[in-house]
A and B are shown apart, each in its own frame.
Chain A
Amino acid sequence: MKGKIPLRFLEWFCPPALYEGIEGDLLEAYEEDVKDRGKRKATLRLGLNVLKFLRPGIVLRNRFKMELINTIMVGNYIKVASRNIVKRKLYSFINAFGLSIAIAFCTLIYLFVQDEKSFDQFHENKGQIYQLLTSNFDQDKFEKKTPYPYKSNPYMPGKLGDVVLDELAEVQYMTRFNNYNVGVMRYSDKNFTQRFASVDTGFFKMFTFKILSGDARKPLRNISDAVLTKEVAQKYFGDEDPVGKTFTIDSDGSIASFTVTAIIETPPANSSISYEMLVLMDAIPWFVRSRENWGNSSFPTFVQLQSGASPSQLKVHLDTIMNKYLGKYKAGWRDWLTPPEDVEPRQFTFQNLSELHMAKDIYWDKVSDPMYSWILSGIAILILALACINYISLALTTSASRRIEVGIRKVVGAQKKQIAWQFTFESLILALISMVIGLGLVVVFLPYFNDFTSKAIELTFVSMLPVVGIAFTVAVLVGLIAGSYPAIFLSGFLPALVLKGRFTSRLQAGFTKPLVVFQFFLSACMIICSVIMYRQMHFITTKDLGFDQEQVIAIPTQTGWNPKANQTLTAFRNELKGDPAVASIAGVTSSFNKGWSRQSYKINGENKEAFIYGVDTDYIPLLNITLKEGRNFDGRASDSLGVIVNEALVKDMKWEDPLNEHLNWHEDTVGLGAPIIGVMKDYNFMSLEHAVEPMLISIDNGYLMTILAKLTPGDTPEKIEHLRTTWLALFPDRPFEYTFVDEDVAAQYDTHTRWSKIMGLSTAFAILIACLGLFGLSGINAVNRTKEIGIRKVMGAKLSSIFILLNKQYVIYASLAFVLAVPLSWYAMNRWLDLFKFAITIGWEIFAFSILAGLLIAMLTVSYHAIKAALINPADTLKHE
């Protein structure tokens, strides 16, 4: 009959009661079409007509029945399944272990992705809140033909906020937000370093942060008002009611007193806006000073648009504002950024609040790269795939012992479908057991996971529900997918053959071989990647940075940018002179990983840039920095003019004899500029992700806000305690805080360390799961060849040759997998190493090591079955025939 396939399809979805009438009509139409338009067109139209019947009006007329499970048998299935699970404890354990780890991984990754997505979603006005951005023309992006060749940052001129609020009708509220104010906060006898955010009154109207007590309507009215989070209030005021209390903040060289007017909720972990204390922008002298200066872009600014206002209009208006107030700067920017004639050098743009968290190119607190979500999801899927493959190959391994059961069931009248269902059911039960274990693992591992990913995900009763839902979905999916192939395979046994006793006939499970190569391939990729990551992290943490970072602590002077900083340094140094705890003390403007300053200047019409640190005479000896030429500052009066530069700067300037050169970095119009008095060997003052850039140190460049103290070896805690008492005796109103310089340096690589740890852990699990799978496959192989081995032994084969016979193929699989894995992981890891200016080279020895390690693990795994099979007495295996 012509056109059978469409009609079969129709039969599949159409309710049986309606089927005949519909089919008849279709056929009638078809016959007419054949007459009118010819056969080919008619067939086409028949197919099309059938498809048109695939509509709810027809499909939903089916009475849905679960005919798949014969409910009477379910009790029996459960019984048999549980007996089997108990009977083969090892296999059940292997399966449940792999599956539960996979489910736990998936659930954790779900939590991670969910948390990433939930960022800033709790603000009621999130749709209308935009962060303003300064976008500078970027030559690199332009050359790569990026559609928007600009680099954006969130730092805006202080006045811009006032102007958009006053002049643009669509802007309803505005707030600037700066969370980088730090000072010493004092209340009665308590003083701590306290970070505080400065905002405008619009802040409370725009963002959804609850006021817990105090003035909820307008918390910040005066410049002496402050709003605290509960934790900060607790820290200073204990159990007293904080509202109305007055405290002082010593910041930036001036002391101001504030009154607590309200307590605000602590921003949740998934908020991009974080704060501990809020004061008005106008309370920050630095802001007030630079407010009218359009050239000073330092203030992140948020606006909320009127509901219904279009962002595109805002863009047009921002362009107008740019021309109106900043027109005079444009020529300068053009010189600096050198865009083509018809391209603007700088623009004001904006992004919606909900994009803030994932905008990785724009620096902001907690900003995150969506790449991480992808990598983690990839790892989760990988582990899930490994576990599923295991289940399949193990189910096939053990299927020999289920053959009689299948045969008997079939003889008694079970249909193929029922038996397939039985086995699927079994895998479902196992998956559900794994789910329970997996959820347990999630709860146990969540704190570590939070550590690894630096998140603060918590499981509450409410958030547990979707987690259970996800775990359940994954479990059921895995149960169905992993269970279906063995089910189809096992239900296909012919009862006559099985029951006649052909137990030892070869089990054709060819499907598992590519699966195992695939497993090997995935594990090999992970092994290579983590070995490379480990090597690189080891290289970074042990590389000689060109200075001595051991036993050096950095102590902030807590004075701000003013002469008190240097006085503090001098007083502290004098007090500790000759003290056995301290080898030496030096001052610097900012310590490692605690900030830097970079200055650009023109020399002979060429733009040059250098990092600049202010130091004192003890800086170079304390850090044991090598001087290649010239001398250190030694206290003579002329030193304040001179600078010591690093080799990179000498190279950048193309100096032959640096000691006779001058560097005019102040761009003096008279004179030659600073004489070079010394050249330092390059040392890594920035992280190893960056090359050593041109850099200079000067003895007369600002205030030394950090004290470096080199401790003498031995009993560090006691010496630090000694320093603390000395400090508090000298400066009772300033907290003593310190960090170890080597820890600060290591902290630069936190992200990388974290990812190499995650990678290492995932690799460990992947290898474990893959090994279990391999164990299963070697089991199949040994079972299949029992008789062959028996005959070989009878013929006089040695144990070793049987061992080689059984293991040969795994070596081949593993080698094949590694050959496939090498180029992929080589490519991926090269991309990763590109992040570092100082990186290891990927040599053949890394691959060789990974391959050997992988092979060794695989050999150990398969040997169990090989040895067991080789040791069996041939009489036992051959006597049945």
Chain B
Amino acid sequence: MSKEFLGEFEELVLTMAGILQEEAYGNAIVNEIKERVGRKVNLSAVHVTLYRLEDKGFVKSKMGGATNVRGGRRKRIFTVTNAGLSMLRTMKESRMDLWKLIPQLKIVGI
């Protein structure tokens, strides 16, 4: 494993940022998680996680253009970096490796 480690929630947020691409900002991620995973998460938790991911170098952020909604405030758009992507990939692979080691269940009877 690499030196950095991702928590479950961090991984979820990072994945969502990857999915949303140019539209990856705090509120959108909250909504995306709700829609795809069916899990209600806290906006502040998502923000804090995003900043932590940025500290670790897995995402980078820039301010988007102003819009008419949200009181004219700009969005902080997060994009997944190469390091973030490879982290996600490593995690997925190591999980698959482990998965393969579980003796597969067989359906017996009936």
- A31 at interface by CB-CB < 8 Å: yes
Q: Is the CB of B70 within 8 A of A27?
A: yes
Chain A proximity mask over B48-87: 1 for CB below 8 Å, otherwise 0? 1001100000000101000001110111100000000000
From 20 to 61 in chain A, residues with beta carbon under 8 angstroms from any chain B beta carbon are: 20-29, 31, 49, 52-53, 55, 57-58, 61
Q: A20-B76, A23-B73, A57-B52 are in contact. Are A52 and B26 (CB under 8 A)?
A: no
Report the count of interface residues on B (CB-CB < 8 A). Answer: 21
Q: Is the CB of A18 within 8 A of B71?
A: no
Residue of A whose beta carbon sits closest to that of B47: A22
Residues of A within 8 A of B27 (CB): 25, 28-29
Shortest CB-to-CB span from A388 to chain B, Å, is 40
Q: Is the CB of B74 within 8 A of A22?
A: no
Q: Is the CB of B48 within 8 A of A57?
A: yes
Residues of A within 8 A of B19 (CB): none
* Residue from the set A20, A49, A61 with the largest chain B CB neighbour count within 10 Å: A20
Partner of B69, one of A26, A31, A55: A31
- A1 at interface by CB-CB < 8 Å: yes
Shortest CB-to-CB span from A35 to chain B, Å, is 11
Residues of B within 8 A of A22 (CB): 26, 47
- B42 at interface by CB-CB < 8 Å: yes
Residues of A within 8 A of B45 (CB): 52
Residue of A whose beta carbon sits closest to that of B50: A21
Q: A20-B63, A29-B27 are in contact. Are A49 and B44 (CB under 8 A)?
A: yes
Shortest CB-to-CB span from A30 to chain B, Å, is 9
Residues of A within 8 A of B52 (CB): 57
Partner of B25, one of A25, A49, A52: A25
Residue of B whose beta carbon sits closest to that of A52: B44
Residues of A within 8 A of B76 (CB): 18, 20-21, 24
Shortest CB-to-CB span from A658 to chain B, Å, is 88
Chain B proximity mask over A112-152: 1 for CB below 8 Å, otherwise 0? 00000000000000000000000000000000000000000
Residue of B whose beta carbon sits closest to that of A54: B44
Chain B proximity mask over A6-30: 1 for CB below 8 Å, otherwise 0? 0000000000001011111111110
Q: Is the CB of A55 within 8 A of B71?
A: no
Complex CA gap A406/B53 in Å reads 50
Q: Is the CB of B48 within 8 A of A49?
A: no
Q: Is the CB of B48 within 8 A of A21?
A: no
Shortest CB-to-CB span from B48 to chain A, Å, is 3
Residue of B whose beta carbon sits closest to that of A23: B73
Partner of A21, one of B42, B44, B69, B75: B75
- B43 at interface by CB-CB < 8 Å: yes
Partner of A28, one of B42, B48, B70: B70
Shortest CB-to-CB span from A795 to chain B, Å, is 66
Shortest CB-to-CB span from A60 to chain B, Å, is 10
Q: A49-B43, A53-B44 are in contact. Are A24 and B51 (CB under 8 A)?
A: no
* Residue from the set B25, B45, B73 with the largest chain A CB neighbour count within 10 Å: B73
Shortest CB-to-CB span from A7 to chain B, Å, is 9
Partner of B73, one of A20, A55, A57: A20
Q: Is the CB of B44 within 8 A of A55?
A: yes
Shortest CB-to-CB span from A836 to chain B, Å, is 63
Q: Is the CB of B48 within 8 A of A26?
A: no
Q: Is the CB of A21 within 8 A of B63?
A: yes
Chain B proximity mask over A47-84: 1 for CB below 8 Å, otherwise 0? 00100110101100100000000000000000000000
Residues of A near any B CB (own CB < 8 A): 1, 18, 20-29, 31, 49, 52-53, 55, 57-58, 61
Residues of B near any A CB (own CB < 8 A): 25-27, 30, 42-45, 47-48, 51-52, 61, 63, 69-71, 73-76
Enumerate 19 A-B pairs (CB-CB under 8 Å) in ascending A order: A18-B51, A21-B25, A21-B76, A23-B73, A24-B75, A25-B26, A25-B47, A25-B70, A26-B43, A27-B71, A28-B69, A29-B30, A49-B43, A52-B42, A52-B44, A53-B44, A57-B48, A57-B51, A58-B48
